[in-house]
Structure 1
Amino acid sequence: MLKIARMRVSVLTAAVSVRTRTRWLLRKWTESSIYMTNLALMDLLLLLQLPFKMHAAYNTWEENKMLLCSFLESFYFVAMYGSIYTIACIAIDRYIAINHPFRAKQVRSKKNALIVCVLIWVFVMSATSPIYTFRDKKEGNFTCFHGFSENGWSTAIIVCLELFGFLLPAAVLVVCSIQSIRTLKASKSSNPKKQAGVRIIYSSLAAFLVPFTPCHIAIFLQYLVRNDLILDCKQQKNIALFIQVSMNIANVTCCLDALCYYFIAKEVRSTKKTLKLSISRARTTSTSEV
């Protein structure tokens, strides 16, 4: 009986310690860290597609692997547009925190950030589901990640892709970033944290516009080619090369997004530590003078 009682006590102690550690870990999370983790997961998903994409660039796939190819293509676009919407949500969250600090206490929370990330996954997965209809089942051996059927280049698909996949998030990011930069620069304080915040905003703008703008221009040009609006053979070859190069640049840059945000967050934390240290030193000096 004594051994059983001791075992029960040890089990209860272990459960309490696990619960305590879980609560401690949850306290360490912030809204920004949740968004950055979601961005890292999106980039990891994109990175997992690259070996298949590289293999498909030099090899044809058999017809019985068409479903696997559509599955990989779907998650490739889930990762890309999930990253786009996550970066846009980071910009919105930053805008609320900077421009509406009192309102932010009611709107911003770890629970809301987690809900937003889940909604991003649901939205992009449902929006990319038509990819399973983009291939002709009678085409035999095929090249995965290339050669979509005419369904994939229809006007409705491309308009939705360009408008909701790029232009709308880009507009949200640019507007929120401009407003946040104006607010930070309008403050008269020479706080190092303000300068770090401006650098964060410029970095996020570059991480979004540099990789995603060229590839969506290339997608639009390829749409014009597939719909016989550009007929010149040389221009068609240049556009085909442009879309491949721009998509590869977007892939590489996406994989660096989370790393970029990590170092930015690290810079902010170091700035906070320096600021606290300078404040404590100032207080010590003033006390000693008194």
Structure 2
Amino acid sequence: MARAARRRRHRRRDRRVASAAGLSVHKVIATSRRLDAVPPIAWLALQAAALWTHWRWAAARVGDGSDDPLGVVALAALLWAVLRLAPALRGQPRLGWLATALGLSIAATVATFIAAPLIGALLAALALATGLRAFMPAGRASLPLAGLAVLALPLVSSLQFYAGYPLRVLTAQLSTWGLQLAGVAAARSGSAMTVEGRLIIVDAPCSGVQMVWMAYFCACAVAAFGDMSDRRFIAKLPWIGLIVLSGNVLRNSVLVLLEARHAAPSDAVHQGIGLVALALVCAAVVAVVRGGRDARA
């Protein structure tokens, strides 16, 4: 009798445990389904909100005039591209990319305390781009979107500060060689050129930093909206750099030659030549990025 009673108690206990376990599994499944129902855009918005301190710094830098507002254009293009892509985003993110996005987000947060603000903002932009990559369908290019995210940051002033002088020296040297090939007496000293006995300074606007920004913005935008593959986009990047360098050297050579043989060109002429060179460079970049085989090849 006692054994039978114990067996009945054990069976009742086992049924209660099984019932509780089944209820727990049901709750887990229900919670998982509710999480899966959250749109990927909402998760990305949550990640962006968590990195708000970097966006506040970027907005303040543009707002106080410390940097050119070119990044606003890249930001608008990025938002448009993401909204266009939203219906195709995966409900189940790739865990590897999601973990990478988490790591970059943590690194961006740590950088707030130990690194320059631009470094933290760059990590935050890459974290957001990686988070987007986790939800993107297979075969869709993510590098152009990452490029737009980086270009949306206030970069131009920093690029001018760190890369401006080397670019001016390179531009002056290539312009010197080009003029020499054309039979013009030219020599370079630092970032200055002596053309037909006249000393001409290659100043900061002639470094081509803004032209670099515009060229890579055009490349990223065309690739993003043209559904180009990452592999093909990477293959185009060296050509874009060559186009930018050639366009900047041509612009500088024309301006230097005008200044050497005539009075210094007026601001209108200077800006006009610069705009024509910029338009030609951007058109060439668009043609190169769009050219060739099918965009998804």
Please give the TM-score of this superposition, normalised by the length of structure 1: 0.28
**Higher Cα Rg: structure 1 or 2?**
2
Q: Which has the higher helix share?
A: 1
Query: More relative contact order in 1 or in 2 (CA 8 Å, sep 6+)?
Result: 1
